[in-house]
Structure 1
Amino acid sequence: MPPFIIIASTRLTVGLISSLLNILTNLGVVVWDLGLTLFNLVAPLRPADRVVPAGCPGAGGRWPEYIPPKEGDSRSACPGLNALANHGLLPRSGRNISFRQMNAAIRSTFNFAPTFCFFVPSYMAGLLGKSYWTDTLDLSDISVHNGIEHDASLTREDTSESPHQGEPCERFINELLASGTGPGGNLTVADLSRISGKRRTEAKSNGQFTLSAFHKLFGSSNSGTLLTIFGGRVQDLRPILLEERIPEGWQPRIRNPAGLTLTAFQPTVLGIELGIEEEAS
């Protein structure tokens, strides 16, 4: 058999095996997530002031020192990940972070479910052509356009307007925080739908606007964390989004012992996305 046929056959086999493993992994995550969701239905909630496990940074609301990034540090389009680095829960440089290290920090800090904490870094790894199990990344790596980062963000300018996706857009964030109509001015599902529709309409004018159906849902997922993990509370979101700092005394608003599962998260995401109205360009 000619060598080029052997090479092509080998590559095809490896590709099929990889695809099969991905399917089995995703099925396993779905089953695992459903089990955690059912467990949360019957398990008692954690005390509001003791959501972060004892012995972990942030237990009792006592967070490690906040130090803003210095020149040369790597930051991403995700305020939550940047906050982890700013508090030393991930390497403060934002560089050479393993995906498994990211998983553990997200889990203990924000009380996302283990499935959530595995799936998102694993997706990032695949997007970057890296191995979740053995490779590392810099935070700026995940700001690749139309990967995790996307146009019409509520906290970042579009890449066509600003290449610095690690920097919060104060104007957008202040508008977001001022849009709350809930008790005390807190954010609601309807608020996030309305402000997302406004951002998408405005962003269409940038001349290079792209926003696939997938990234629309991803954007609504990002918005959904503001309502779930942070309870829509503007007082907490202000330092998180503007300074990328965890407020002293803060604890995740999701108190279920298994954390926020992918299954339980979907109604919030769909509620935001289905309520978005975009004006025609």
Structure 2
Amino acid sequence: MGGVVDKAAGAVLKLLVFQWDIALFVLNFVTPDRKEGEVVPKGAPGHHGAWPEYVPPTDGDSRSACPMLNAMANHGVLPHDGKNITFVDLNHSIRKTFNFAPSFCFFVPKFAADFLKRSYWKDTFNLEELSLHNAIEHDASLTRQDSALVPDQSKPDLKLVHDLFAEATGKMPDGSPRLTIPDLSRALSKRRVDARLSNKDYSETRFHNMFGSSNSSTMLTLFAGSVEDLTPMLTEERFSENWEPRVRSRFGLTITKFNLAHVLPVERGVNTKKIEEEREAAALAQAEATSGAAGEASK
């Protein structure tokens, strides 16, 4: 009976959070954006782009599969050791650092508390615990090899990161490379194809695919797809100098806008079949070219 009551209460809470989020989504349309340079609030780390000193993790520090949470710990926005963090503090820190809407900042830590079977209101966690496989962490990540191949999810795979940046076809106003929605769709398509081939324990569900597109879409929203700003974040897990979130909405990035404007378009653009067909065609062309060269050499 208790389990049924808990599920019902959880469903009601989610409904309330999404109603709250939709209200914030509407309010963002009728209120002025935050001024450039003032997105991170006064008194918070990163105000005016002044981030605390970057200190890489040392032995014994706890880190997750999420580059942005790791960057917060590396700069001391979260405890540098990444341990004994309350879910409530995570909520508040994410809100100030990245300008996610308060509904978003409640929903994700609450989700983490639930899959770790802890109280959102009273308990703590270590960053590495968020890498529980197939909770938030999932196969075919754009910055990590699958956990079945590399159990330690605390560090980025630099080849994967550079492969991602190589997909960039857009341009920032200053002419530097920029990732676009089609770029991320193509990058995810390639990763899913590669992961299926390399990981015999590969798993994929609609839920995890949406999480993959969601994680990727933060690059388009908070970083505007800027490869220049994403490079230190995804390779060293640090904030670039003078960085602030590109989302300047008064009430922050809502779940509603995030999904409608970015996550769903990215996921809809994923086409693993096209990647497989392209690779088969390339392999066939290479085989024909090799056969032709061998024939010429034998004359």
TM-score by length of 1: 0.94
1:165 match: 153
Q: Which residue, out of 239, 250, 255, partners 2:248?
A: 255
CA distance in 2 between counterparts of 1:62 and 1:33 reads 29
Query: For the residues of structure 1 that align with 2:147 and 2:182, how far apart are their CA atoms?
Result: 27
Match of 2:287 in 1: none
Q: Is 1:62–2:56 an aligned residue pair?
A: no
Unaligned stretches of 5+ in structure 1? 1-11
Question: 1:247: Cα distance to partner?
Answer: 1.1
Pick from 177, 189, 197: which aligns with 1:185?
177
Contact 2:64 2:154 (C-alpha < 8 Å) held by counterparts: yes
- After TM superposition, the structure 1 = structure 2 runs for residues 51-200 of structure 1, keeping only pairs within 5 Å, are 51-183=39-171, 184-200=176-192
Contact 2:177 2:228 in 1 (8 A): no
The CA deviation at 1:21 is 1.4
Structure 2 residue runs without a partner (length 5+): 278-299
1:271 aligns with 2:265: yes
TM-aligned CA deviation for residue 31 of structure 1: 0.9
Query: What amino acid does structure 1 have at the position aligned with 2:119?
Result: S
CA distance in structure 1 between the aligned counterparts of 2:12 and 2:243, rounded to whole angstroms:
37
- Counterpart AA for 2:108: V
How far residue 204 of structure 1 moved from its aligned partner, in angstroms, is 0.3
CA contact (8 A) 1:178 1:185 kept: no
Q: Which amino acid in structure 1 is aligned with residue 49 of structure 2?
A: G
3-state DSSP class of the match of 1:251? coil
Residue type of the partner of 2:218? Answer: T
Whole-Å separation in 2 of the counterparts to 1:185 and 1:175: 14
Q: Distance in 2 between matches of 1:127 and 1:160?
A: 20
SS at match of 1:116: helix
Deviation (angstroms), 1:17: 2.0
What CA distance in whole angstroms lies between the structure 1 residues aligned with 2:36 and 2:246? 7
Distance 1:48 1:219 in 2: 29
> What is residue 45 of structure 1 aligned with on the other side?
33
Distance 1:170 1:48 in 2: 31
What is the aligned partner in structure 2 of residue 203 from structure 1? 195
CA contact (8 A) 1:97 1:137 kept: yes
Moved over 4 A (4+): none
Distance 2:78 2:36 in 1: 24
Offset from partner CA, 1:86-113 (integer Å, 9 cap, x none): 0111110001110011101100000000
Return the TM-score normalized by structure 2.
Answer: 0.88
